[in-house]
Structure 1
Amino acid sequence: MIEEFFVQLTWLQGIGTLFGIVQVVFARQNNIHTYLFGIASILISLWVLYQSALYADILLHLYYLVMSIYGWFFWKFGKQQSEAPITSSSNNEHLKAMGIVLGCFSLMSYWLSFHTDSDVPIWDAAVSAFAWAGMWLMAKRKLENWIYLNVSNIISIPLLIYKDLYIYAGMSVFLFIMGTSGYLKWRKLMKEENKHVYATA
């Protein structure tokens, strides 16, 4: 019975990872379909994370779900009923992103430490805090989303290994590589969009 449970959990990790990989490839290409595969990956991950008692990650993935729906609408209709462009974060948006990190970390670390049976409250909270900020910036199509998401990926790799979620740990390594590539790709696309705007002005 226990063996069957872990086989099922590993199988679900594999499917969720596959959808997650497709999602990040689409995100790197600045393709709106990233959100469709992202939602499928999120729903699978919620079950896996619940079984592993990674409660902050569960809340993070619920937040991902909401932001994915918001992001899809913003990317689709974010600027006068046409696709919103890639832009750099303003100073105000940088402050908001850091506020999300600090606020999320403070709340999550307190909740996990005193109201759950989590054995990694600080670790889990740190992963979630940077990911919350990164997902918010991605939904707004901001270049710097990749930086915040990659900080989250770096922290999550040893956490997932510690929790014996090796497939997800491997996926986090892949996400870090794709996040670095995505940042460079988006920066190039942003420069091309700006040149086009100036040329047609």
Structure 2
Amino acid sequence: MLELINHWGIGIKEQIHQISIWEGIGVSFGVAEVLFAKKNKVWLYPCGITSIIITAYLFFHAGLYAEMFLQTYYFFMSIYGWVLWSEKKGQRLTVEYSSSLEWEKAFAIVISAWAILYILLLFFTNSDVPFFDSLVSAFAWSGMWLLAKRKIENWIFLNVSNLIAIPLLIHKGLILYSALTLFLFIIAVFGYVEWKKLIEKRTAD
């Protein structure tokens, strides 16, 4: 067991030394994105789009095809969210809990996205992690949809995705992105708490 832990530790050290400048830039914009999201600021979207473009390129070369396609989805959802978060008729969208119908839609997105992506990865790519790669993307698809609609449950769906993604990214040698994902997981917990306070404050007013 000790030998296995030492081997794993050595592998992580080697991955740290192989971190590229593009991985550093992509992660930096990813950090900025989630911090702006936590503060309920629209600047999360331009930062996110920059991170998305870099991340898609890196994931393609790492063989994480579902997560690469996820970045494409992120790109269009970021455009959609950017427009949705902008002022509309003098009003800004408020943070809210999801309705029963929105919960059903969110889970429908997870199930359908996972099934489609898993089949595509299994039969049309050389992915060695089709199940987990597709599952990470499926929960993230749903989470991004909820984020664009400013629903507090987006943090829950995104954190399920993050939790699965951390060991997957380590397995693929993307150690800096695994560290970013752990950071995103922690920030998402605080993001949920902060958005909940916004809802409670609005309800109390």
Structure 2 residue aligned with 1:72:
82
Distance in 1 (CA, whole Å) between partners of 2:41 and 2:109 is 26
Is the partner of 1:82 in helix, strand or coil?
Answer: coil
TM-score (norm: length of structure 2): 0.89
1:15 to 7, 11, 25: 25
Is the partner of 2:128 in helix, strand or coil?
Answer: coil
Distance in 2 (CA, whole Å) between partners of 1:81 and 1:63 is 29
TM-score (norm: length of structure 1): 0.91
Q: CA offsets per residue over residues 169-193 of structure 1, 9 Å max, x none?
A: 0000000000001000000011112
Q: CA deviation at 1:40?
A: 0.5
Question: 4+ residue runs of structure 1 moved beyond 3 angstroms?
Answer: 6-9
CA RMSD of aligned residues (A): 1.5
Q: CA deviation at 1:9?
A: 6.2
1:145 to 154, 168, 172: 154
Is the partner of 2:86 in helix, strand or coil?
Answer: helix
Distance in 2 (CA, whole Å) between partners of 1:149 and 1:141 is 13
Question: 5+ unaligned residues in a row in structure 2: which ranges?
Answer: 1-15
* Corresponding position: 1:127 with 2:136: yes
Q: CA offsets per residue over residues 61-99 of structure 1, 9 Å max, x none?
A: 100000001001111145x34210001000000000000
Distance in 2 (CA, whole Å) between partners of 1:20 and 1:129 is 19
Matches within 5 A, 1:68-107: 68-77=78-87, 80-107=89-116
Structure 1 residue aligned with 2:71:
61
* Corresponding position: 1:31 with 2:41: yes
Report percent identity of matched pairs: 45
Is the partner of 1:118 in helix, strand or coil?
Answer: coil
2:125 to 116, 132, 148: 116
Distance in 1 (CA, whole Å) between partners of 2:109 and 2:67 is 15
State how many pairs are aligned. Answer: 190
Structure 2 residue aligned with 1:170:
179
Question: 5+ unaligned residues in a row in structure 1: which ranges?
Answer: 1-5, 197-201
Counterpart of 1:58, as a letter, is M
Counterpart of 2:101, as a letter, is N
